[in-house]
Amino acid sequence: MTRALTLLSVSFFAALASARLDCKVPHLGGGQDDGPAINAAFKRCAKNGKVVLDKYYSVDSLLFTTGLDDVEIELSGTVQYTPDIAKWSPQSYYLTYQNATTFWFLSGNNIHLYGGGTIDGNGQVWWDTLRTSGSTGTAGGSSTTFARPVPLTVGNATNVVIENIFEIGSPFWNNFVYQSSNVTYNNITINAVSYSSSPTANSGTMAPLPKFSVAEIYILDGWDIYRSDGVTITNSWINNDDDCVSFKPNSTNIIVSNLWCNGSHGVSVGSLGQYAGETDIVANVTVHNVSMNNAQNGARIKVFGGNPSPTSTAGGGTGFVKNVTFSDYKVTNVDNPVIIDQCYDTAADVCAQYPSTLSISDVHFINITGTSSGKEGDVVVDIECSAECVDITATGTSITSPKGASVYVCANIESEDQLDFNCTSPSS
């Protein structure tokens, strides 16, 4: 071959290799199931491909898109799951944490999902059923008759970017980051609003249920992160009724910034330490520039107390929470703007005898400002450890309560002198 021809063929093959295979997904219409066509497109375009979801898709079968390698997903249309409880409860994909199941398991390396489109969990029927059945059912796959799936799970995945999409009507957690690393969410809008006259997913005006609070039964967390490292969540708007973002066991190297959260349970570490014999780690978490509105909590850490039983499922786990910073936090109408509870869901006498064996250290509250709701009276900060918490600091704290001069409750904080407020001991 001549030199020119060689060069030509080299560049020809280079161009071929970089050409992205396009997989446009058709939609059937008439309420027919588009799930099989979506799965087929992901199979066809699994390597160096681009899957285009630019239509309205009615999805009645599990989306299981795994083994992806360098895949773009343009979601400019709508993926809407069918509101078929009898079908989805058994067929949604079971994950090993808290019996969660999912409508869509997205897995692989180098995945970019974007496009201005919508994932619609069609949550109304799930919320209504939860409400009218008068019980929590189960959160996930421990029931095959009523398992509420997560609309999008990034699982066993690395190097993932998800941006510019809407997520509405989730029956359960909106996003689950499961056993993954280097995952970024940017510009996500999450909304869960009920349109039925009786149950509303996130309104404080709903009649209380006999045993459970609204949030306890709906559990519409924005994000749950589990066994994952290097997760970024930024520039997002969340209107929900449970944790805005939740760091579950083994969430490390996390950055959360520029969020507007409404009606939630706050940005929350935990709960951790629930299971004896298990080690839970949350480390290197930065939460910066959050506007927290009409919420139960602002910045929260919750860890179970200790337990003498080696098989306890109500505390006694070990591990640590270390290097967690909450900064530039604006709270408005929040019940507990700052809260650390190291005796979470555990009786006080149990904690007194068996303090938590999951340590909390190196936690910093910087510039937490705003107003509490007054639900906890004049208490605006409540940081109580059952074992001693080390290197907890607060600077720039400025939180007022509508119920009087602010009170800061602390217990077992080694570094009380590093807090910019005066602590009061718990009353009980």
Positions marked catalytic: 265
CB-CB contact of 158 with 181 (8 Å): yes
Instruction: Write out the two tokens for 301.
Output: 């850490």
CB-CB contact of 363 with 314 (8 Å): no
Instruction: Candidates 26-34, 126-134, 137-145, 376-384: pick the segment binding ligand NAG (CB under 6 A).
Output: 137-145
Name 282's bridge partners.
251, 321
Instruction: Candidates 17-25, 286-294, 301-309, 371-379: pick the segment binding ligand NAG (CB under 6 A).
Output: 286-294
Sequential DSSP letters for 21-44 = EEEEPP---TT---HHHHHHHHHH
CB-nearer residue toward ligand NAG: 58 or 327: 327
98 binds ligand NAG (CB under 6 A): yes
Q: By CB under 6 A, name the one of 53, 62, 68, 139 that touches ligand NAG.
A: 139
Sequential DSSP letters for 86-128 = HHHHHHSEE-SSTT-EESEEEEEEEEEEESS-EEE--THHHHH
CB-nearer residue toward ligand NAG: 150 or 259: 259
116 binds ligand NAG (CB under 6 A): yes
Instruction: Candidates 40-48, 81-89, 256-264, 334-342: pick the segment binding ligand NAG (CB under 6 A).
Output: 256-264
CB-nearer residue toward ligand NAG: 259 or 411: 259
* Residue 397 CA neighbour count, 13 Å, CB half: 24
CA 47 to chain centre: 29
Q: How far is the CB of 411 from ligand NAG (least distance, A)?
A: 17
CB-CB contact of 167 with 116 (8 Å): no
Q: What DSSP designation does 333 have?
A: E
Instruction: Write out the two tokens for 137.
Output: 């059912």
Name 27's bridge partners.
none
Counting residues that bind ligand NAG (by CB under 6 A) gives 54
CB-nearer residue toward ligand NAG: 88 or 247: 247
99 binds ligand NAG (CB under 6 A): yes
Closest C-alpha to 84, from 117, 37, 124, 133? 124
CB-nearer residue toward ligand NAG: 58 or 293: 293
CA 223 to chain centre: 2
Closest C-alpha to 315, from 282, 358, 369? 358
159 binds ligand NAG (CB under 6 A): yes
Restricting to residues 310-369, which ones interact with ligand NAG according to CB under 6 A? 323, 327-328, 366-367
Binding site for ligand NAG (CB under 6 A): 66, 98-99, 105, 107, 110, 116, 138-139, 142, 156, 159, 161, 164-166, 179, 182, 187, 202-204, 227, 239, 249-250, 252-253, 255, 258-260, 262-263, 278-281, 283-286, 289, 291, 294, 323, 327-328, 366-367, 396, 420-422
